[in-house]
Structure 1
Amino acid sequence: MIEIEALSKHYRAPDGRVTDVLKSINLEVQPGNITAVVGPSGAGKSTLAKCISLLEQPSAGSIRVNGHDLSRLSGEVLRRERRAIGTVFQSSALLQRKSAWENIALPLRYLGVVERDISARVGELLEHVGLSHKASAFPAQLSGGQRQRIGIARALALRPSVLLADEATSGLDPEATVTILDLLRKLRDEYRLAIVLITHEMDAVRRAADAVAEIRDGQIVHYGVVKQLLAQPDSRLAQQLLPLAPQPASSELVLQLSYRTDVPVASDWLTRLSQQFALRIDLLGAHIEQVNGLQLGRLQVGIHFQRERVPLSQLLMQLEQLGLIGRVTAGAPLLKEAV
Structure 2
Amino acid sequence: MIVLDHVSKFFSSKSGDIKAVTNVSLHVKQGEIHGVIGYSGAGKSTLIRCVNLLEQPTSGNVFIQGKESTFLSPDKLRSVRKNIGMIFQGFNLLKTASVYDNIAIPLKLLGLKKEDVHKRVEKYLDIVDLADKKNAYPNQLSGGQKQRVAIARALAQEPDILLSDEATSALDPETTDAILDLLLKINEEFGITILLITHEMNVIQKICDNVTVLEKGEVIEQGTAVQLFASPKNKTTQKFLNTISQRKLSSSLISQLNLNGTVVRLTFIGENTGEPLLAQLTKKFDVQPNILTANIIELKNDIIGNLVIHLTGDQEIIEQALQFLRKQNVGIERLEGN
Q: TM-score, normalised by structure 2?
A: 0.90
Moved more, 245-254 or 56-65: 245-254
Q: Distance in 2 between matches of 1:55 and 1:234?
A: 32
1:147 to partner: Cα distance:
0.5
Matched, 1:6 2:6: yes
Q: Is the 8 A contact 1:86 1:163 kept in 2?
A: yes
How far apart are residue 230 of structure 1 and its match?
Answer: 2.5
Offset at 1:55?
A: 1.6
Matching residue of 1:279 = 287
Q: Matches of residues 243-282 of structure 1 in structure 2 within 5 Å?
A: 243-247=246-250, 248=254, 250-261=259-270, 263-282=271-290
Distance 1:251 1:229 in 2: 30
- Asked if 1:319 is matched to 2:334, the reply is no
Paired residues of 1:163 and 1:193 also in contact (CA < 8 A): yes
Q: 1:234 to 1:9 in 2, by over 3 A?
A: closer
For residues 92 and 315 of structure 2, the distance between their equivalents in structure 1, rounded to whole angstroms, comes to: 66
What fraction of aligned residue pairs are identical, expressed as a percent?
Answer: 36
SS of the residue aligned with 1:137?
coil
The question of whether the paired residues in 2 share the 8 Å contact of 1:3 and 1:28 is answered with yes
Task: Give matches, 1:291-302, under 5 Å.
Answer: 291-302=299-310
Count, aligned residues: 328
Give the aligned partner of residue 63 of structure 2.
Answer: 64
SS in 2 for 1:50: helix
SS of residue paired to 1:80 = helix
Contact 2:35 2:198 in 1 (8 A): yes
- CA separation in 2, counterparts of 1:186 and 1:320? 37
**Stretch deviating more after TM superposition (233-242 or 74-83):** 233-242
Residues in 1 aligned to 2:111 and 2:174: alpha-carbon distance in whole angstroms: 37
- The 8 Å contact of residues 265 and 324 in structure 1, kept in 2 or not, is answered as no
Q: CA deviation at 1:190?
A: 1.6
**Partner residue in 1 for 2:225:** 226
User: How much has 1:208 moved relative to structure 2?
Assistant: 1.3
1:83-112 residue CA offsets vs partner (Å, 9 max, x unmatched): 121111101111112111111112210011
User: 2-side partners of 1:205 and 1:144: how far apart?
Assistant: 21
**Is the 2:102–2:153 contact (alpha carbons within 8 Å) kept by the matching residues of 1?**
yes
Contact 2:287–2:318 (8 Å) recurs in 1: no
Determine if contact 1:265/1:322 at 8 Å carries over to the other structure: no
TM-score, normalisation: structure 1: 0.90
Counterpart secondary structure, 1:310: helix
Q: Is the 8 A contact 2:296 2:303 kept in 1?
A: yes
Q: Measure how far apart 1:154 and its partner are.
A: 0.6
> Partner letter of residue 200 of structure 1?
H
Hey, what's the Cα distance between the residues in 2 that align with 1:238 and 1:211? 16
* Deviation larger for 124-133 or 201-210: 124-133
Can you list the C-alpha shifts for 1:174-231, whole angstroms capped at 9, x where unaligned? 1110011111111111221221111000111111111111111211010010112223
What is aligned with 1:337? Answer: none
Partner deviation per Cα, 1:102-136 (whole Å, 9 max, x = no partner): 11112210011011111111122112112122222
For the residue of structure 2 that corresponds to 1:32, the secondary structure is coil
Distance 1:331 1:141 in 2: 56
Check whether the contact 2:2–2:27 (CA below 8 A) recurs between aligned residues. Answer: yes
> How far apart are residue 295 of structure 1 and its match?
2.3
Displacement after TM superposition at 1:275 (Å): 2.3
Report SS of the residue matched to 2:230. coil
Q: CA contact under 8 A between 1:280 and 1:304: conserved in structure 2? A: yes
